[in-house]
């Protein structure tokens, strides 16, 4: 077996540095950059992405990979080579021109999306999306696929996953969950403890205490305000930043978004530092990453045990809600009803929001749907699956930034994460039955420790399918997730 040369390692370290610099510029664009800097920032990001791409697909990189030959596939070096070759082969199929154009279009589209969403004006964004969809179609053809062009894009976020598998998963969830959703109230009931006047500083104080208790290391992170919350790793576990948003009249708007991004950050902060500046840095896949954010946001943060512990602190921090019991807060955290905004949706209806996006983006990619007709189709599908028509495009087709960023194939990873979160928590609890009791005491070290040992530290060393089998003892399955939802909401709503 051959060893990986220092030249190959240094080459991928340099590529990682370029990508980290791009991540810093992207983070700044969404948090602090003045609006006037958009055009220049688009060019800067385009330049960096082009240089990174050219270095990855160069003849020298190909020669170094070829010279390495085979290594022990079960070793860290074997995993390095597997991921490096995968990245090289995918990138080599994309022309440098296309990579630069995608980056430039992404920056301009994000700025247009922000304005369009603010003004609920679809026409401001539509030309940018038309360009992005055309570029993504071209990318899919360059990347290649066996079954469907969507597979080529999906593979970037969920290696090995296919549209045909997603179709089966969504069919199962639709069959199991739609009958339950139809029995839900049409409006929010029981959310009163989280509605009212919530001082922004107090909200941040409370959420900071919680994510600190979870284990988020502030010496290696920070939090900023944005329109659409996200988490980003700027070069490894030593710098993992989260963002959030606030609504002074609605506690949930900020709180659960913060728990969600903290879940992503805990994953990134837990990756083996030895993988920094290598292809093994970061999460195994977007679905696996989403499993961590959903686990901390929903299975932990919306649990009865969680609110049994944090009810006194909540009442002290927000005197207007001091009379709310732990049970009141638990039920407020789990109010379920069909709603307009995906990021505000409850666990039962959330996957129907994803289904709408999944069906639309596959139709766009196939050419069965034109961008000009997208708002109408969006509203029709929302009416069919959720029972209402969005009040505006800002609260409908324009609510998500993903398509502006060119992330076609990304949305299904949210549902994959939901499914995996229940399976992973079930495995952790099986290994440590004391986890729920510890949550009721505000202690999370056992849960976080299990996740660090079985998932976080491995980074991208294992393929997603192998990682979930190693962690839980079986392939991904929707059973634990469906059982979790039926048990929880069956009890809350007497379904």
Lowest mean pLDDT among 91-105, 114-128, 360-374, 437-451: 91-105
pLDDT digits (tens, 9 = 90+) for 15-38: 999 999 999 999 999 999 998 999
Whether 280 has a pLDDT exceeding 80, the answer reads yes
Q: What is the DSSP letter of 340?
A: S
The torsion defined by the Cα of 412, 415, 417 and 422, in degrees rounded to 10, comes to -160
Q: Examine the residue annotation and report whether 146 is marked as an active-site residue of this protein.
A: no
Angle between helices 479-493 and 412-431 in degrees, nearest 10: 90
What is the average pLDDT score of the chain? 95
The torsion defined by the Cα of 382, 384, 386 and 391, in degrees rounded to 10, comes to 40
Catalytic position from the list 261, 268, 297, 340: 261
CATH entry 3.50.50.60 includes domain 165-493: no
Q: What is the pLDDT of residue 376?
A: 97
pLDDT digits (tens, 9 = 90+) for 452-486: 999 999 999 999 999 999 999 999 999 999 999 99
**Class of residue 77 by CB neighbours under 10 A (exposed 0-12, middle 13-18, buried 19+):** middle
Q: Distance (Å, rounded) from C-alpha 315 to C-alpha 323? A: 7
Q: Are 414 and 354 in contact (CB under 8 A)?
A: yes
428-456 average pLDDT score: 98
Residue 196's pLDDT band (cuts 50, 70, 90): very high
264-292 average pLDDT score: 97
Q: Distance (Å, rounded) from C-alpha 244 to C-alpha 225? A: 5
pLDDT digits (tens, 9 = 90+) for 207-233: 999 999 999 999 999 999 998 899 999
Query: CA 84 from chain center: how many Å?
Result: 23
Q: What is the pLDDT of residue 182?
A: 84
Residue 319's pLDDT band (cuts 50, 70, 90): very high
CA–CA–CA angle 458, 459, 465 (5° rounding): 80
Range picked from 63-77, 140-154, 167-181 for highest mean pLDDT? 140-154
Whether 299 has a pLDDT exceeding 60, the answer reads yes
Residue 187's pLDDT band (cuts 50, 70, 90): confident
Q: Distance (Å, rounded) from C-alpha 46 to C-alpha 324? A: 51
pTM of the model: 0.91
Q: What is the pLDDT of residue 2?
A: 65
* Domain residue limits, the chain: 6-144, 165-493
């Amino acid at each position: 077996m051959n060893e990986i040369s220092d030249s190959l390692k240094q080459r991928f370290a340099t590529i990682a540095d370029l990508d980290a610099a791009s991540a810093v510029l992207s983070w700044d664009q969404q948090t602090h950059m003045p609006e006037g800097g958009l055009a220049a920032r688009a060019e800067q990001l385009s330049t960096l992405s082009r240089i990174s791409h050219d270095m990855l697909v160069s003849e020298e990189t190909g020669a170094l990979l070829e010279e390495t030959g085979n290594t022990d596939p079960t070793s860290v070096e074997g995993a390095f080579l597997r991921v490096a070759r995968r990245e090289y082969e995918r990138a080599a199929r994309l022309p440098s021109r296309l990579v630069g154009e995608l980056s430039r279009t992404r920056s301009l589209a994000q700025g247009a999306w922000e304005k369009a969403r603010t003004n609920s004006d679809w026409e401001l964004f539509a030309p940018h999306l038309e360009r992005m969809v055309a570029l993504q179609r071209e990318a899919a053809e360059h990347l290649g696929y066996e079954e469907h062009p969507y597979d080529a894009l999906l593979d970037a976020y969920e290696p090995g996953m296919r549209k045909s598998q997603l179709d089966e998963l969504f069919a199962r969830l639709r069959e199991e969950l739609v009958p339950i959703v139809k029995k839900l109230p049409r409006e929010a009931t029981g959310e009163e403890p989280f509605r009212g006047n919530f001082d922004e500083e107090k909200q941040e104080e409370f959420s900071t205490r919680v994510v600190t208790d979870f284990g988020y290391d502030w010496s290696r992170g920070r939090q900023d305000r944005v329109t659409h919350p996200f988490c980003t790793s700027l070069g490894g576990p030593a710098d993992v930043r989260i963002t959030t948003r606030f609504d002074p009249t609605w506690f949930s708007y900020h709180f659960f978004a913060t728990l969600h991004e903290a879940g992503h950050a805990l994953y990134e902060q837990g990756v083996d530092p030895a993988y920094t500046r290598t292809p093994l840095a970061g999460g195994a896949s977007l679905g696996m990453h989403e499993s961590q954010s959903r686990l901390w946001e929903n299975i932990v943060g919306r649990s009865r045990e969680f609110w049994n512990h944090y009810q006194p602190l909540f009442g002290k921090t927000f005197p207007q809600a001091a009379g709310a019991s732990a049970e009141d807060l638990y039920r407020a955290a789990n109010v379920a009803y069909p709603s307009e905004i995906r990021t505000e949706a409850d666990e039962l209806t959330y996957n129907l929001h994803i289904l709408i996006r999944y069906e639309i983006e596959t139709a766009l990619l196939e050419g069965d749907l034109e961008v000009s007709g997208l708002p109408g189709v969006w509203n029709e599908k929302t009416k069919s699956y959720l029972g209402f028509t969005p009040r505006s495009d800002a609260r409908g087709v324009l609510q998500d930034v993903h398509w502006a960023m060119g992330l076609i194939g990304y949305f299904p990873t949210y549902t994959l994460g939901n499914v995996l979160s229940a399976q992973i928590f079930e495995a952790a609890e099986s290994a440590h039955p004391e986890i729920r009791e510890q949550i009721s005491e505000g202690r999370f070290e056992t849960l976080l420790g299990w996740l660090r040992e079985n998932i976080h530290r491995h980074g991208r060393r294992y393929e997603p399918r192998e990682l979930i089998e190693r962690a839980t003892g079986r392939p991904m399955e929707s059973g634990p997730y469906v059982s979790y939802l039926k048990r929880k909401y069956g009890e809350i709503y007497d379904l």
